[in-house]
Amino acid sequence: MQGGVFTQVGRIESRDLPIPQPQRGEVLLKVAGCGVCGTDHHIFDGELTRGVAPPVVLGHEIATRIEAVGPDVDGLTPGQFCAVDPVIGCGVCPACRSAQPNLCNNTTTIGYKLNGGFAQFLTAPARNVVPLDESVGIAGAVLCETLACVLNGYDRLEFAASSSALILGAGTVGLLWAQVLANSPCRKLIQTEPVDYRRDKAAQLGADLVLDPDADALSARVRRDLPDGVDFIIDATGSADAITQALPLLAPAGTLMIFGVCPAHERVQLSPYDLYEKEAKIIASKMPPNTLERSARLIESGRIACDQIVTATRPLGALADAVAGFVDNRQSQIKVAIDPWA
C-alpha cells in the first residue's frame, strides 16, 4: 500500500508499505479520506513532539471503510463506513479508569505513535471505530473526530442558557464551534477571523457578528453589544497573541477555554489581578474522551454543514505540500482532505 511517512521535522516521504493485519480485537480499515489538521502541521514543523514517534504515518481525522475484522470483534462487519477515535489509552491508569483516555500519560495515539490515515490502510481497535451512515459522505466522517473534540469542550464549559460567547478564529475548529453554539441557548455569538473568505463562512454557519481582529476596534465593537463583556471566550486559533488580545473582554465570572493547539514555546500575557477581580476561570480541552458516538449522531442529523468546511481534496502525492502549506492555505481553503487512492 502507499503511505506518506513523517520521517523527521520538515520531511514526509511517499513509501510503499505493507498492509497491516488486524490483531485480536482490531479491524483493518480502508481509508476513504483523511483531513489535514493544524496538529499535523505543528508536528511537521517540529513545534509539537510529545507523543510523536517517527517514522510514522500521520493523520487522525479519518474516514474509513472496514476491510476486515480480526478475532474477537463483534458488531462490526466488512463494508461499514466509519469514523475513528485516534486516542488509545493504556486502560489501567487513573485517567483511563475514570473514562478519560485523552488524559492518559501512556496513550498511543493513531497518527502520532501508531500509523494513521495518510495511507491506504490502517488498523485500529474495534472499540475506537464508530459506524456512520453513508449519507454523511467523506466530509462528515473526516470531521467526526474534530467535532468530538468540540463536544468535549462544550461539555467542559457548562454552557448556561442566555450566555454570550466569543470564538477566536473561523477555521475548521472555529466553524464547528459556531455550529454547536448556534444549536445551543447562546444569546449572542461573536466570532473573530482575519481572512475575508472565512469570515463569510462564519456568518453563514451561525455567528451573529463576525469581526476582523486586525482591522476592527475589537474591544469597542464587542462592548457595544455586550457592555459587561463576554461570558465565554473560546480560542480556536492556537495563537497566544489572540488569547492575550481577547482576555480583557471576559465578563465577570466568565470562562476562557484554551482549545486551539498553541506551539509549546508561546506564552499568554495575563493579569492575575484581573482574573481575581472577575472570578474568571481558565480551562482547556484536548482530544475526545468518549464523544465520538455523539459526534457521529450529530453529523448524521444534518445540523452540521460538513461540506461547507471540507473545501478541497488532494492526492496522497500532495500530502507534504498540504501539511507544510497549512497556514498559507488559509486564504483559500478551510479543511483539506487527502485521498490516498487518487
Under CATH, what is the fold of the domain 2-131+309-339? Answer: Quinone Oxidoreductase; Chain A, domain 1 (3.90.180)
Cα–Cα dist 195/180, whole Å:
21
Local mean pLDDT, 10-residue blocks, the chain (342 residues): 97 97 98 96 89 94 98 97 95 91 90 97 98 98 98 92 95 98 94 96 96 87 96 96 94 96 85 94 90 97 97 96 86 94 95
Fold designation for 152-284? Rossmann fold (3.40.50)
Edge-first strand listing for the sheet containing 230-235: 209-211, 188-192, 164-168, 230-235, 250-258, 281-284
Q: Characterise 124 by phi-psi region: left (phi > 0), alpha (psi -120 to 50), beta (else).
A: beta
| Residue 223 confidence (pLDDT) | 94
Say what the pTM is.
Answer: 0.95
Query: Cell for 218?
Result: 475589537
Model pLDDT, residue 149: 96
pLDDT of residue 217: 87
pLDDT at position 21 is 97
Asked if 339 and 315 touch (Cβ cutoff 8 Å), the reply is yes
Predicted pLDDT at 192: 97
Contacts of 26 (CB under 8 A, 6+ apart): 69, 70, 73, 123, 124, 125, 126
Q: Where are the domain boundaries for CATH 3.90.180.10 in the chain?
A: 2-131+309-339
Residues of the chain with CATH 3.40.50.720: 152-284
pLDDT at residue 243, as a whole number: 94
